[in-house]
Structure 1
Amino acid sequence: MKEVEETEEGFYSFSSQDSRELSEDDLQKLAKQTIVTDFKRNKLEIEARKNWDKFYHRNRENFFKDRHWSAEDLKIICPDIDFEQEIKYLEAGCGVGNMMFPLVAELPNLKLFAFDFSENAVKLLAERASELGLKVATSVVDLSIPSISSPFEEKVDLATLIFVLSAIHPDKHKVAAENMRNLVKIGGTIVVRDYGVNDHAMIRFGRDARLGDRFYVRQDGTRAFYFELEELSEMFEAVGFKCVSKEYLHRITINHKKNLKVPRIFVQARFVRES
């Protein structure tokens, strides 16, 4: 997928099978990062849902912008899917629907399903869907808890996980992948995009923000994990998916006025359920 970076001064982008190499300055910043106490790590895990509910209560639908790149790029990453036919589509970790609503505006044959960890997010999404006259099956779901059943009556053809897995404790990533398997039909697709190792945001965390290897807490209590591409593909392959494509997405935002180049790194992959 090609993502549009909205910046005043401009950007450029490319994809590769490797993340970026760190500079000496980056390495020094990483060396200064300190791991938080066990007490804080445990507290953040216990309060994960509460922190996301607070986030959506505070920001409502104003924090994230709609992802208007999604329809064109889904067609590119899934060229074998006929979007002229009815497609059962799930936005997993939907937030307030910033991917789903622009997507259905361009692909009206989608049958919509959505869930999120945050009850507040799902409520906001349902309100917007009602205002737009859209029918969306919604649920509050915690992907990190083992489950053998789906909250929906049907398995979907296509699901997206956009910056979702990174918010889950890395010890529970495989559980999340297993749960996604229960939601997608055999032959169905999951498209993942998330934060990649050595992303600028990972480097700029200061002291008392590191929870573990590539795992951090933001000031609002929400968390972010930064993936290596291989571990992402191995995780889904271990639970019955085939990796069709995978890449690091390099987005370098350029601000000429401030003479800044900010290297953003994301992982992106498509997985098809085989068993």
Structure 2
Amino acid sequence: MRGLLKMTVSAVAHTFGHVPYRCLSGRPPAPLGGRILTNPKDIFHHNMWDHVQWSPEEMEKARQKAEENSREQIPLEEQVRYDRDANKYWDRFYDMHQNKFFKNRQWLFTEFPELLPQGCDTSRTPEGQEASVPACPELRKTLHSRTDSQQGDSPFPSHDVLRETQQHNAFPGQHASFRILEVGCGVGNSVFPIINTIRGSDAFLYCFDFSSRAIQLVREHPDYDPTVCHAFVHDICDDVAVFPFPQGSLDVIAVVFVLSSIHPERIQRVVNRLAGYLKHGGIILFRDYGRYDLAQLRFKKGQCLSENFYTRQDGTCVYFFMKDEIHRLFTNAGLEEVQNLEDRRIQVNRGKKVVMHRVWMQSKYRKPLSTPGC
């Protein structure tokens, strides 16, 4: 196992031939990252190196390890609880870790500049500035009054309330000209960098998670601002559950380390549903675990649910993607490829002198400006 997770310095020398580049529509190619290891002797000078190429031998060892830890699968009758009780496992996770487990994703705007409306400056410090996106006091009053009377102490509106407000053409962020949705926001590690950047612009952020504990932590955060953000509880796998905004109303949907937690058989339906909420010309930004990432190779026998889909010790689940299946998922939903790449890196523990392979998938898919045949 240790041999799979480590790379010798001599092996690193073979990993840097062709350097992959990001393909951005309408822009010249830009590298994934600027930290390239040109001299293997420098490997322990930094914590991360970009643009890593694996040798055929390393790829085969990783494939064999994944095959080995997938050989013994959890019986189907036991797998049901991981799907049925997924929100309970994530509630327990957030109860235990609060907002201390993940760091804020400050890399968001470098990799996904599409998250921000044109002219929004990521270098400014917007805290304390007044948002220009007007709130909707009538809607807020309706939601709070109906929520208090119908849901007891719950701070979140029911689907009936959301459906009623949509029927009256009132919804949070309706006055915004640029609308962003973050799927599976957790405790807000993407939410708050976005809030603090769009505050003062004509943008509005929606974010949801199916863990009520996670949304509670988001709404209790001192940077949470209901004039620019609406956080709500929602299960993306529930086809009947209602979103608090109409179809075709979103400019950007961020799906970052979310689809991997969903059973592979459900992912296509989820992507299809999300695509329906994009405006024509709107874009889905995707980042998640890639096949043979360190996290996959670390799983022990008996943790596999199905091919490349595992359960962690805490009951949460994770799937590891390939580039071609990501392309199928999004194009089957009627979207066009802007970017689809494997982000392979070397992660270094300089204290322990350990070198590890990380693999992430990063993609951007756009809804066509017009429907074919129209």
State the TM-score bracket (shorter-chain normalisation). 0.7 to 0.9
Q: Paired residue for 1:66?
A: 104
- 64-73 vs 202-211, which moves further: 64-73
Q: Paired residue for 1:82?
A: 118
Q: Paired residue for 1:10?
A: 47
Structure 2 vs 1, CA of residues 200 and 159 (structure 1 numbering), >3 Å: closer, same or farther? same
Give 1:98 deviation, angstroms.
Answer: 0.5
- 147-156 vs 203-212, which moves further: 147-156
Q: Paired residue for 1:144?
A: 237
1:61 counterpart letter in structure 2: N
3-state secondary structure, aligned to 1:14 = coil
Determine the C-alpha separation between the residues in 2 that align with 1:37 and 1:132. Answer: 45
Find the partner of 2:270 among 145, 170, 176.
Answer: 176
Find the partner of 1:114 among 163, 186, 207.
Answer: 207
For these two proteins, the number of residue pairs brought into alignment is 271
Higher relative contact order (CA 8 A, sep 6+): 1
User: Which protein is richer in strand relative to its size?
Assistant: 1
Cα-to-partner distance string for 1:170-195 (whole Å, 9 max, x where unaligned):
00001110121232222111100000
Does 1:42 pair with 2:80?
yes
Determine the C-alpha separation between the residues in 2 that align with 1:150 and 1:20. Answer: 47
1:231 counterpart letter in structure 2: E
Structure 2 vs 1, CA of residues 145 and 213 (structure 1 numbering), >3 Å: closer, same or farther? same
| Aligned counterparts, 1:121-140, within 5 A | 121-128=214-221, 135-140=228-233
Give 1:146 deviation, angstroms.
Answer: 2.3
Cα-to-partner distance string for 1:26-66 (whole Å, 9 max, x where unaligned):
62464144211112211111111111111112211111110
Determine the C-alpha separation between the residues in 2 that align with 1:41 and 1:104. Answer: 38
TM-score, normalised by the number of residues in structure 1: 0.87
Q: Paired residue for 2:261?
A: 167
Structure 2 vs 1, CA of residues 217 and 122 (structure 1 numbering), >3 Å: closer, same or farther? same
Structure 2 vs 1, CA of residues 117 and 153 (structure 1 numbering), >3 Å: closer, same or farther? same
Which has more radius of gyration?
Answer: 2
Determine the C-alpha separation between the residues in 2 that align with 1:261 and 1:63. Answer: 22
Determine the C-alpha separation between the residues in 2 that align with 1:228 and 1:102. Answer: 29
Give 1:255 deviation, angstroms.
Answer: 2.3
8 Å Cα contact 2:66-2:296 kept in structure 1: no
Determine the C-alpha separation between the residues in 2 that align with 1:32 and 1:80. Answer: 41
Determine the C-alpha separation between the residues in 2 that align with 1:116 and 1:246. Answer: 25
Determine the C-alpha separation between the residues in 2 that align with 1:273 and 1:25. Answer: 35
Give 1:87 deviation, angstroms.
Answer: 2.6
8 Å Cα contact 1:192-1:268 kept in structure 2: yes
Determine the C-alpha separation between the residues in 2 that align with 1:103 and 1:4. Answer: 24
Give 1:143 deviation, angstroms.
Answer: 1.4
3-state secondary structure, aligned to 1:96 = coil
Determine the C-alpha separation between the residues in 2 that align with 1:170 and 1:40. Answer: 17
1:47 counterpart letter in structure 2: D
Give 1:117 deviation, angstroms.
Answer: 1.5
Give 1:96 deviation, angstroms.
Answer: 1.1
Structure 2 vs 1, CA of residues 47 and 242 (structure 1 numbering), >3 Å: closer, same or farther? same
Find the partner of 1:237 among 315, 322, 331.
Answer: 331
TM-score, normalised by the number of residues in structure 2: 0.65
| Aligned counterparts, 1:203-242, within 5 A | 203-242=297-336
Structure 1: segments with no counterpart, 5+ residues: none
Structure 2 vs 1, CA of residues 93 and 79 (structure 1 numbering), >3 Å: closer, same or farther? closer
- 104-113 vs 157-166, which moves further: 104-113
Determine the C-alpha separation between the residues in 2 that align with 1:207 and 1:67. Answer: 32
Structure 2 vs 1, CA of residues 165 and 244 (structure 1 numbering), >3 Å: closer, same or farther? same
8 Å Cα contact 2:65-2:297 kept in structure 1: no
- 245-254 vs 148-157, which moves further: 148-157
